[in-house]
Structure formats: C-alpha cells, structure tokens
C-alpha cells in the first residue's frame, strides 16, 4: 500500500506517477499559483496538475524552476482544451503549453474532455507527441467506458490515465473496474467534492476515530481504492494536511461505509452532455 507522498503507481508503459498531486484549477496565475506549487513541493508533493484552460501554466513553470527540486523528480500534467482539439491544432496547443511551462517535456498530457467527432484525431496527436518523446505518458480526462472503448478500438497506444470526477458521492466503481481490467490508471479530480462532503456524519465519525480530518479520510479512501488524487488548494496548511495520509489505514468496514455514500452525484459536467 501507499506509504508516503512520493510513492508512485506504475503506468502501463513503465512510467511512475505519484499517487498524490496538487491540482491548480482556479489558482490565479502569478503569485497565488507560484506560492501554492512551491508550498506543495516543499511539503513533499512531486506531482502538479494543470491545464491550458486554467491559464496558470506560466506560474506553474516558474514555481518548478524556483522550487529547488530537480525537474526529473517532478511529474507535471497538462491538458489540451476542447477548442484546440483535432490533430494539427492539438500539436500546436501542446507546444504553447510546453513553452508556457518552460519545460523540455511534459510527464502526462491529457485530452481534457471527449469532444465528439474530435477526440480520436486529438488522440492521434497525443500518440505522435508520445512517440516523439515530448511527453512521457498520455491519457484522457472525463472519459466514460464507451469513450475508452471507442479510443481503444483503433488506437496504437491505449490511454495510460483517465482523470475523472470522483468522490464518495460519485464513486465510479464500474469505471474503476473497467480501467483496472485495461491497465488504465484512474485519477480523481474534485476528490473532496469542493468541500461539500466535509460535514458528512459517516465521514466525520470515521475521521474522529482516526484523529484525522474528513478530507484526509476521504483522500485515504481514494488511495485504498487504487485511485490517484489531486486535491486542489492554495492554502499552505490545507496543502500539507491533504498530503498527510500515510500514518493511518481505513478498515474494510470503514471502506464499505464510505462506498455506501455513493449516489452518483456529479458536481461537474456530465461527460455525455457538456456544452463547451
């Protein structure tokens, strides 16, 4: 089991990806995102997740340069946005992201959403980036089982990661089982449901028993389910707390109690009906 914040899962191409990372969605470009990334790296995080949509890739890149940890010890993810999807436009968008991040390569590049009629061409572009050595791993985000099956029907390289909304009220068990069967690592965005689950009585009771916060219990539940987490915060204390998950373990009964909270509730958009 995961023993420390720098422990990794091995993707199907052999690349090692940390189980815990910092998400920077809505972290403001400039000082805010730079401070958050530096705080995370100083707290032991080695994985940072951004996207062209977040408009803070330059800040992330600056923090990476100034953090004092060698580039090769970090794992940096970014994503191609929907309006840039398609073969040529994805290659151009990647180059823009790489320049903003000021990196020679990106560790993980994701298709942000399954844009109909476009995501397969976009995937071909990711395969090229991967074969050219510009990215260490490629994957998708917000893909349902049928999207993954569609990609896998005629791709050269299957996705290494699928990053989706996942939390105790949207446990994604069927998708998780499918990804495990196909050696695709599931990764959770919004793992704490934007804080909405922090007052849940079941989670509160389990947290009290472990003398941990509800956020820590929830993130631990993800890890014990084999799901990578990227909780978002710009608060240094919360960043530290979200990374402090390795001195306790949830029992099988506690895992079942948390599993039972699932109501298939989406806080974000439905991957089958999004309009952007």
Catalytic positions, written as ranges: 54
Instruction: Return all residues near 239 (Cβ < 8 A) that are at least 6 apart.
Output: 22, 36, 39, 40, 43, 45, 233
Distance CA 165, CA 108 (A): 18
**Residues 147, 118 contacting (CB under 8 angstroms):** no
Which letter does DSSP use for residue 270 in this model? Answer: B
Specify the 3-state DSSP secondary structure of 9.
strand
Instruction: Quote the CA–CA distance of 143 and 29 in Å, as a whole number.
Output: 27
Q: Which pair of tokens denotes residue 255?
A: 């895992």
State the residue for tokens 């949207």: 170
Residues 151 and 172 sit within 8 Å (Cβ to Cβ): no
């Amino acid at each position: 089991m995961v023993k420390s914040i720098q422990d990794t899962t091995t993707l199907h191409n052999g690349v090692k990806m940390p189980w815990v990372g910092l998400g920077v969605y809505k972290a403001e470009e400039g000082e805010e995102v730079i401070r958050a990334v530096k705080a995370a790296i100083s707290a032991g995080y080695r994985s940072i997740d951004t996207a062209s949509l977040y408009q803070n890739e330059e800040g992330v890149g600056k923090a990476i340069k100034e953090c004092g940890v060698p580039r090769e010890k970090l794992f940096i993810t970014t994503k191609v946005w929907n309006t840039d999807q398609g073969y040529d436009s994805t290659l151009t968008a990647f180059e823009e992201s790489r320049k903003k991040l000021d990196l020679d390569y990106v560790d993980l590049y994701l298709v942000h959403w399954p844009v109909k009629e476009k995501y397969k061409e976009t995937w071909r572009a990711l395969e090229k980036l991967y074969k050219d050595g510009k990215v260490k791993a490629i994957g998708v985000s917000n893909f349902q089982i049928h999207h993954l099956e569609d990609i896998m029907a005629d791709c050269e390289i299957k996705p290494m990661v699928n990053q989706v909304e996942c939390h105790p009220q949207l446990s994604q068990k069927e998708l998780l089982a499918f990804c495990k069967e196909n050696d695709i690592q599931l990764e959770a965005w919004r793992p704490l449901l934007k804080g909405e689950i922090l007052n849940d009585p079941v989670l509160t009771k389990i947290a009290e028993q472990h003398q941990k916060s509800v956020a820590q219990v929830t993130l631990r539940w993800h890890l014990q389910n084999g799901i990578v987490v990227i909780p978002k915060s710009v608060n240094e204390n919360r960043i530290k707390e979200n990374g402090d998950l390795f001195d306790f373990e949830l029992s099988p009964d506690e895992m079942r109690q948390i599993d039972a909270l699932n109501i298939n509730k989406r806080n974000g958009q439905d991957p089958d009906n999004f309009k952007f």
